[in-house]
Amino acid sequence: MNIKPDLNSVVYAVGNAFGTGVVVRDGLYTFKTPEEQDNRWNWLRFSAAASPGNSGGPLLDKDGAVIGIVLRASQNENLNYALPIDEVLQAPADRADIDNRASYQFDVLDTIQSGTFKAQFSLPLSFSEFSSTFIKLANAFSTSQLKALLGKEPGKVFPKGAGSSRLLHDAPRMQYFPGLITRKRDGEWEMIF
């Protein structure tokens, strides 16, 4: 492990790029970028190509020491992202910590709800237990975000809001059922057949 790699040094991204088997690609470790949520640590930015299948693979220095874990590719440039190995080594072995700022939007409203998904649970767990615990916590967070979002604009949620009364009180025409009630861009509710 190398927790203090030199800037502008040669690095190698190793992974199962596009599911084709182990692929090693070279590039340079070019700079650090603060993580987007709280600037608590810095991403390692590197120019070695990263493709689907590289995520979770090691980023190695010229001597083969792990300096980071490849987590994502850049969308606009070939400067990809790795989590520094020091962050991995400092993580507690007996606890999973979730701390992720997220935005939530309900398709029929223009408002966005922002919140922070924070949770902890004990480790070790099997992959199945880990997945079900994480999903349960994530679903609870999503439910709380939806409630908060709907609470911001209760007057726009069906059966309230523009056009709702018309849809509820028009004489039904059975030949048009089933239909989908949706909100138009101008905020008015309508039924689509």
Each residue's pLDDT expressed in tens, for the chain with a length of 193 residues = 999 999 999 999 999 988 888 999 999 999 999 998 889 999 999 999 988 888 999 999 999 999 999 999 888 778 899 999 999 999 999 999 999 988 888 777 778 888 999 999 999 999 999 999 999 999 999 999 999 988 888 888 888 888 888 888 876 666 667 778 888 888 888 888 7
With CA atoms as reference, report the closest residue to 69 among 57, 86, 54, 87: 57
List, as one string, the DSSP characters of 2-62: -SSPPTTEEEEEEE-GGGSS-EEEEEEEEEEEE-TTT--SEEEEE-S---TT-TT-EEEET
pLDDT at 156: 82
Six-digit token pair at 30? 């070019």
pLDDT at 160: 85
C-beta separation of 53 from 70 below 8 A: no
Q: What is the phi/psi pair of residue 141, to 5°? A: -65, -45
pLDDT at 174: 64
Six-digit token pair at 130? 């880990």
User: What does DSSP say about strands 112-122 and 58-61: parallel, antiparallel, or unpaired?
Assistant: unpaired
Instruction: Give 126: exposed, middle or buried? Use CB within 10 Å, 0-12, 13-18, 19+.
Output: exposed
pLDDT at 29: 96
∠ at Cα 54 (53, 57), nearest 5°? Answer: 125
Residue bearing tokens 């709702």: 164
Q: How far apart are the first and last CA of the chain?
A: 61
pTM of this structure: 0.70
pLDDT at 110: 78
pLDDT at 109: 78
| Bond from prior residue into 124 cis (ω within 30 degrees of 0) | yes
pLDDT at 123: 96
Question: Left, alpha or beta for 56 (phi > 0: left; psi -120 to 50: alpha)?
Answer: left
C-beta separation of 48 from 61 below 8 A: no
